[in-house]
Every structure is written in C-alpha cells, then in structure tokens.
Amino acid sequence: MQLQELFVRLDLLSLKLFVAVAEESSIAGAAAREHLVPSAVSKRLGLLEEALGAELLVRHTKGVALTPAGETLLLRARDILRSVDATAHEIGEYTSDGYAHLRLTANHSSMVQFLPSDLASYLEAHPHTRFDLGKV
C-alpha cells in the first residue's frame, strides 16, 4: 500500500472511533458514545485494519480486546488526537489576521497604575496580541 493511500485511510474520525472502542471495550459502547450506529463503527475499524495490514482487535461476544498491534495504535492514536486538539486550541486563539485578541475591563485606577506595566510585560512575551480595553 502506498503511503498516500495509508494517510487517506488513517483519518482522524477512524482513529477517534478506534480509541473509543478500546476505551469502551465494545463496538456498541463506542458507537453509543460517539452517537453512531455500531455497523458504521465496525466498518471504519475494518477499513483501518485493512489499511494498516494488521488485526487491531479480537472480537468476543462480550466485547473486544486489543491485539499487540492495537495496543501500539492506541498509544499513537491518543498522541495524534491530543496533538490535533492542542493545535486546534492554539490556532483558535488567533483571529483571522494572526493576532490573539483579548478584551479587558478595568477601573480607571487600574488602567493608570497597573495595566501599563503589566500589559507591556505581557506584550513582550506575546507580541501577536491585540487588546480591547473597556472602562468600568
């Protein structure tokens, strides 16, 4: 299998579903958790196993167990999903022009006495930040 095809089949939803199945020890439990029908989850898992060329789960009447390949994928999939989540969070802190945008409200005394030096220090560490200041 070509690397490009593997990337297409290793989509984030399939990895998320695999993690859910591993954590629930059940396709039906993972399907309920992710608001899908079990057949859709099962199909995704089958495609994932086919793409990787390895059995990831041992299916039992009472649920599933991870194979050694499944244990390895579980560790990697969790890392990938955490990384994607962190990336989305970090990118979400920026507006469309590339700057973080913070809104502050303070009384006159704070604006005059404390905020100038505090904001200067903050901006030194986070230069891509814009502030909207409001007065109480």
**Sequence spans of domains, the chain:** 3-92, 100-135
- CB-based contacts of 3: which residues, under 8 Å, 6+ apart? none
Q: Does domain 3-92 have CATH number 3.30.499.10?
A: no
CATH top-level class of 100-135: alpha beta
Q: Taking residues 112-128, report their average pLDDT.
A: 85
The encoded tokens of residue 115 equal 């905020």
Q: Can you tell me the mean pLDDT for 103-131?
A: 84
Q: What is the pLDDT of residue 5?
A: 63
Asked if 92 and 126 count as a contact pair (C-beta separation under 8 A), the reply is no
Q: Which pTM value belongs to this model?
A: 0.67
pLDDT value, residue 79? 95
For the stretch 1-44, pLDDT in tens is: 566 666 656 789 999 999 999 999 999 999 999 999 999 999 99
* CA–CA separation, 30 and 19 (whole Å): 9
